[in-house]
Chains A and B, each alone.
Chain A
Amino acid sequence: MAYEWKELALEDQPRNPLADFALNVMARFTAAEIGLSNEHRPMDRSSNFDQQWWLALVSVTPGLSIAGLLERAADFLPPDHPGSLVIPGEYSEGFRNRQDIDVITLYARRDYLNAANAANGAEQLGIETLLVSTPLESQTLSSPAEPFTPPDLKVPVTPNTVVTAVIDHGVAIAHDLFRRKNINGDLVLSRVDFFLDMDGTPDPNAPVPSTIGRVWTGPEINEILKNNLHNGLLDDAAVYRDLGLIDWKTRPFNACAHRLSHGTHVTGLASGYDASDVDGLERRIIVVQLPTRLVANTLGFGLEQAIEQAMSFISQQLVHFQVDEVAQQMPLVVNFSFGNFMGPHDGTGEVSRSIDTIMSNMEASSSRPRLLMMPSGNGNLSRCHAVINLTQTAPTAELDWQLQPADRSASILSVWLPVMTPVEDSTVTMRVTVPGFDTPHTLTAGMTPSYNWLTEQDHLGNAIILGLVVYQPPVAPTARGKFTIAVVPTDNPMRVGLVAPSGDWKLQFVKGNAVDKLSLNVWVQRDETLPGFPEFGRQSYLSAPSYNRFDVPGGKVISEDPVAHASPVRRAGMINGIACGNLPAVIAGYVSSDGKMSAYSAGGPTLNGFRLTGPDASAVSDDSVVLHGVLSAGSNCGSRVSMSGTSVSTPRVARWVADQFAQSPTTPFGRGNVVAKALNDDPPSPHKPSAFRTGGGRMELRNIFGSLRWPGQE
């Protein structure tokens, strides 16, 4: 075991360490996980790996259009690599010529992305920042040379129709709660008008073309439903086989074949109606299923990158709705029940910005309300947030970061400085001590980036990179300096080479003389296996002796930071890192029976002045202390299953929002209206949870499927 620190020269430093980490440091692990295995010669995977396509969320140099971006790419890319960049066909000619595009999605290979991420990537390629996570399944991508011709589709609806869009994973769209009866009384009309399955294979003959995945239209779905209705029963497995959602030939994970699928449950709460329920007739659905690879990848910063494509897709389908044969945009509520721990938590991250931009554009162009719903997250007890306060009297603080053994996913931690431009050189240092390596490494915050590899020598004498320790000075619009540590998995069953040491990674922060006091925010990225997926990641976490998990050993879980606690590790501030933007309505979860916040339900504060306390409101995410979760649709027709988490409280509010839209389709409506309803439902009282956990308050919403489980409920 011979560890070593290696510092990179300024000109060799990639600009986004996490993109570099995903593209290069993690390559040997990712290649093995996605089956590019060559068990005897792991190095041979690299050429195969270079052929993989990545979804990248990038911000473009101001003033540069997509057309300009392509010109620069053509100049850069060698002639034998003509195909390393794909601009989504969904971006119209007009959009491609705009010079104010900010954040867009690209599909690219590693050579382009590495060049874009290089120190000179901005001037060479016009890419200011980029986010990548894990390669896509190659068959899910097409390479449109030209912008798509917008399809001429007409979806006739009634004037009071509201569209509910769900961006999720594992959506069994054929569930009977999403169907209506035809004139013969057969339950074969889907209320899903558009379904983008990002795991699908693009079909050039499909009515709606797609760069990633397959778009299914209502009439196509209805045809499949009709063909698979036998003796009054839908053959679920056959429907999902026809849609490509269940395919045991090629896919090891088929969410819709499981009893419980996240997206089905969420969609059921957001817009599931019994066929006899008249409300359902005027609720239409758009579903986007995210790529399984991105969802399963517990690296943690991949999932939300697809949201820009998802939102663009939703936005483009709205033009097809017609009332009395006249095109009319309908009110839209979007539910995105996913979360993450990282990010600046101040609304300036790429994802938050792109969400806010798309929502404002949609709203401005339609004069109909549009609202995006997001969960506050389930990380309240995950010990993934710490606040380090350094003062003149206590200029030094220590924090332990625990990497678990048998963690097959990467572990990532970031430390954010306060807003500070410039950062003077003697502001703060971070020292990292790796378990089993007695030479710590110290980084100094300032205006100079610092980029360091932790390497270990393998049996052939090669230095293998196990992790990155990086400092980046503030970059607009996030005016905060940042330390980042990214570490490869601590375990892998395949022949991938050296893994990282698990155990106690010790961090020490020392304040310099440039400031009197300093508050640092630490967040650890989520890297846990998602429910239903095969065992993969194990969550790394922060530990401090003064953090008590239970009131007495073996006793009750403490779900709020005690008033006078001394621990740097906090429950507060564990709010979903991508739910800190200005526009989304963010929903926490509470327990119906006792009115307490669900222990996992994460809260603020955030660092965004427009939503300091965090969530906007809370809704029921657990029926009772013993009946965890709430009931909604299971994957198979007719089934109801329970699921808990802020993933389920959020769509309950989305359903209520849709009701409000239906009553008043042209009235502007924003998250403020959700807060108002919450304040009204939950007036101040000694038992009301703090605004940081519950936002405006605990919303009292009509129980949707709960009476099946607990007849006492309304």
Chain B
Amino acid sequence: MSNASNVAPEGAFGAFGAFSGSGAFGAFGAFGAFGGPGSANPPLISQALITNHDGIAGTWASVGADAVNPNVQESTDYLGRLSPAVRASIFALELGSHIGFSFEPNMTAGDPGLGSVFHLETTSASPVPDTKYQKLVALRRPTIDIFAEQLTLVANYADLRQDRMAEILAALGTPTEFLRAIAYIEPARTPFTIELLATAHWLANFVEMRLKYALGCKRPIEFSPQIQPMIWTPSHGSLPSGHATEAFTMARVLWLLLRQHNVKPYSQGIWGEMLMRQAARIAINRTVAGVHFPVDSAAGAVLGLTLGRYFVDRCTGVAPANSWEFDGTNYPGHMDFDWRDYFDPQNPADNIAPEQKETTWATESILTDADQNQTRSAPLDWLWQKAAAEWVDLAADIDQDTETGDGS
């Protein structure tokens, strides 16, 4: 069984093969470091260095008290000297320590409860921080009747398996492989962009897995023996779709990153259009494969778009402005997934800001008292600035404004 060799039966999280060195990111040479075991220590070199030390170190000379200055503490200057794998742990704590979660069962026993994700505001420690929860996003699963109705869509989508097989298998790895075909991402050229996307990917996965666990939605394969998915059905729940969540998170982060320095083409709506098409394609391909319902993609899109915006807020120190709720019980059972229901890329170049869109099952609430200071993270800001610098235009005559003008 290929399952036994841990080759990503878990689908979405297979992308994090990077973490375990199993090489989903193999294509990204530079990024291999992110998951690799660190610098190699070949035994020959170690043996050589042992005898070499014996040969030349000579008599031990002690070091005086003021011979070396101490390092600065809690400084982003230090980040640049760390390996990406080490930074990943730092970014994970920066993000993860500010996420809260709750699950409220429904008042009516057996009806779908609400899984909520919060941004956790914390004050400085004295001696321990005070905390306040700001709601970011909440999901309620559809009823079993809705899933059952959705199953016909899953069955019919199987028609495209032959057409989409390469895409479906390739998308078991990271969405970066597909986003890099739209934006000029390349390991030597944009290592920090890749790292930023991987960090956003981590956040999406961190949140979506907790939600999947809480909502406990059955997979298509559990409804009918005739679905016969063409890949492993992951062990985790169906809604929200992890691929949808991650792809939409990363697509939104990437477009905001591209526009950070107002480089000419990236504020054209077509860039957002293409990034969202790509995210939707990745999501829909999971339905083609037979492992997701269209409503899973819809929930994933709402979650991902929200998390993408939130991630950039954390990186740039902006207070979250709104929260989103996906109520699956209002989702029409016959309805397919169409990303355009959830996001409008508009055309930032004409000062029409992109926006996340409301439906009867995906609604927005305004956050009025979020504290901007409490979103700041120096390490995330460092990573964002490094990544954004990779997109500064090299055109000769451009008037580069370092502040972004369009905000969504």
Give me the interface of A with B, judged by CB distance under 8 Å.
230-233, 235, 237-238, 241, 248-254, 257-259, 534
Residues of B close to A233: CB separation below 8 A: 270, 273-274
Interchain CA distance A676-B156 in the complex, whole Å: 48
What class of interface size applies to chain B in its complex with A?
Answer: 20 to 34
- Taking a contact as CB atoms closer than 8 A, the residue among B156, B159, B338 that contacts A249 in the complex is B156
Q: Tell me, rounded to whole Å, the shortest Cβ–Cβ distance linking A435 to chain B.
A: 32
Determine the distance from Cα of A238 to Cα of B163 in the docked complex, in whole angstroms: 19
Contact among A238, A248, A258, A259 for B153, CB-based, below 8 A: A248
Q: Mark B164-192, 1 if CB is under 8 A from A, else 0.
A: 00000000000000000000000000000
In contact, A248 and B157 (Cβ under 8 angstroms): yes
A231 touches B273 (CB 8 A): yes
Nearest 8 CB-CB pairs, A to B?
Answer: A231-B269, A231-B273, A231-B270, A248-B156, A252-B156, A248-B153, A259-B163, A249-B334
Measured in the bound complex, the distance between the Cα atoms of B143 and A157 in whole Å is 54
Q: Is the CB of B160 within 8 A of A230?
A: no
Residue of B156, B160, B272 most packed against chain A (CB within 10 A): B156
- List chain B residues, Cβ under 8 A from A258: 159-160, 163
A249 touches B336 (CB 8 A): yes
Per-residue CB proximity of B235-270 to A under 8 Å, as 1/0? 000000000000000000000000000000000111
- A249 and chain B: residue at smallest CB distance: B334
Question: Which of chain B's residues have a CB closer than 8 A to the CB of A257?
Answer: 159-160
A231-B347 CB under 8 A given contacts A238-B338, A249-B153: yes
Contact with A along B328-365 (1 / 0, CB 8 A): 00000010101010000101000000000000000000
Residue numbers in B under 8 Å from A232 (CB-CB): 269-270
Q: A235-B340, A248-B157 are in contact. List 19 more A-B contacts (CB 8 A).
A: A230-B345, A231-B269, A231-B270, A231-B272, A231-B347, A233-B273, A233-B274, A238-B338, A238-B340, A241-B336, A248-B153, A248-B156, A248-B336, A249-B334, A251-B156, A252-B155, A257-B159, A257-B160, A258-B163
Q: In the docked arrangement, what's the CA distance between A232 and B272, Å?
A: 12
For residue B184, give the distance in angstroms from its CB to the closest CB of chain A: 19
113-160 of chain B: CB within 8 A of chain A: 152-153, 155-160
Expressed in whole angstroms, the Cα–Cα distance for A497 and B228 within the complex equals 25
Give chain A's interface secondary structure class.
Answer: loop
Q: How far is the CA of A523 from the CA of B156 in the complex (A)?
A: 35
A251 nearest CB neighbor, chain B only: B156
Q: How far is the CB of A37 from chain B (nearest CB, A)?
A: 12
Known: A249-B153, A258-B160. A231 touches B345 (CB 8 A): yes
Q: Identify which of B159, B272, B338, B340 contacts A252 (C-beta below 8 A).
A: B159
- A259 vs B161: C-alpha distance in the bound complex, in angstroms? 11
Residues of chain B within 8 A of A254, CB atoms compared: 156, 159
Q: How far is the CA of A235 from the CA of B159 in the complex (A)?
A: 20
A224 shortest CB reach to chain B, Å? 15
Residues on B with C-beta less than 8 A from A231 are 268-270, 272-273, 345, 347
Least Cβ distance of A35 to chain B in Å? 11
Give CA–CA (A241, B268) in the complex, Å: 26
Which residue of chain A has its CB nearest to the CB of B270? A231
B270 shortest CB reach to chain A, Å = 4
User: What are the residues of chain B within 8 A of A248 when measuring CB–CB?
Assistant: 153, 156-157, 336
Cα A241 to Cα B336 with chains together (Å): 10
The interface residues of chain A lying within 8 Å CB-to-CB of B153 are: 248-249
Q: Give the chain A neighbours of B270 by CB distance below 8 A.
A: 231-233
Q: Pick the residue among A230, A251, A252, A253 that contacts B269 (CB under 8 A).
A: A230
Q: Which residues of B contact A252 (CB under 8 A)?
A: 155-156, 158-159
When the two chains form their complex, are residues B152 and A253 in contact, meaning their CB atoms are under 8 A apart? no
Q: How far is the CA of A233 from the CA of B268 in the complex (A)?
A: 12
Inter-chain CA distance A237–B163, complex, in Å, is 15
Give the docked Cα–Cα distance between A320 and B350 (Å). 42
* Chain A residues with CB under 8 A of B338: 237-238, 241
The winner among A231, A248, A249 for most chain B CB atoms within 10 A is A248
